[in-house]
Amino acid sequence: MNVQHIAAFSNGPIGGNPAGVVLCDVMPDANVMQELAAEIGYSETVFAAPCEEGWRVRYFAPEVEVDFCGHATIALGAALAKSKGPGIFTLKLNRTQITVEGRFSENEWGASFLSPPTRSRPVANALLDEALALFGLDHNDLDVRIPPAIAHGGGDHLILALKDRATLQAMQYDLQKGREMALREGLITFSLLYAEQPRLFHARNPFPLGGVFEDPATGAAAAALAGYLRDIDWPHEGSIVIYQGEDMGVPSCLRAEITPQRGAGIRVSGTARYIR
């Protein structure tokens, strides 16, 4: 199988979250895809094969299959635009169907996807206390304007908004304990963030469920966050920018467009670059 190595949500010519992209004539067996994803070692590898609806798509982290991955979808959209021409592609996922618009020109290479429907709910007190302990935080570290929540945009993400940038920069946690909590609670990532301005966020996204300490760019979490901000009537004015990966030395940039309709999918956009 031909694996394309593409960084999604790059910040100009640098950064971005690496994804493996495999365009297939026929979808391989799940065990083959899982083994290849583990061998590649990126947080996700996406496999896509033509089907009646458009493209059948599956995402694999090194240790587990996930139903949706935002940065791998951006990488896939960019790869499809380069091989098939720019346009909108329908993607049939495990649990839903979405679209990705791929762009490819001399001036820009990237994609935008429309996420699955979003929703959010409060975090149970016991889970919140456990999550704060995992990251060595307490309630005084939280930004009261953005209460902790479980936000969904194709998967569940636990949102912890912090009131200062330094606390976000200092993030540490035990990977195994995080994985146990994520498995038990069905959490795709832990989304730690700082609101520098109402429309400008800095984020860090641990992904222990997939055996990854931290992702440099997480499109699904960006969609979930944007949907949650809409739910709490945050003054987003229709869009937000998220800088992620800076504290890893892998600067990444994600843009999310937020329509007024509660629960509607979020359009998440980013540029892409080849790794090799």
Evaluate if residue 276 carries a pLDDT over 80.
no
Q: Which CATH class is domain 4-113?
A: alpha beta
Q: Which CATH class is domain 119-264?
A: alpha beta
Q: 0.85 exceeded by the pTM?
A: yes
The CA-based angle 74-200-19, given to 5 degrees, is 20
CA–CA separation, 247 and 221 (whole Å)? 17
Q: Which amino acid is at 258?
A: I
Would you give the DSSP letter of residue 27?
P
Torsion of CA 259, 96, 80, 75, to 10 degrees: 70
Evaluate if residue 106 carries a pLDDT over 90.
no
pLDDT single digits (tens) 132-170: 999 999 999 999 999 999 999 989 999 999 999 999 999
**Consecutive H or E run containing 119:** strand 119-122
pLDDT single digits (tens) 12-66: 889 999 999 999 999 999 999 999 999 999 999 999 999 998 999 999 999 899 9
Token pair belonging to 103: 């762009």
For residue 30, how many other CB atoms are within 10 A of its CB?
12
Q: Work out the percent of the chain whose per-residue pLDDT is above 90.
A: 93
Report residue 112's pLDDT band, with 50, 70 and 90 as the boundaries.
very high
The CB-side HSE value for 214 (13 A sphere, CA atoms) comes to: 23
pLDDT single digits (tens) 76-88: 999 999 999 999 9
Among 74, 11, 6, smallest CA distance to 252 is for 11
* Bridge partners for 110 per DSSP: 103, 271
Rounded mean pLDDT of 115-134? 97
Domains 4-113 and 119-264 share a fold: yes
> Where do the structural domains in the chain lie, given as residue ranges?
4-113, 119-264
CA–CA separation, 40 and 61 (whole Å)? 10
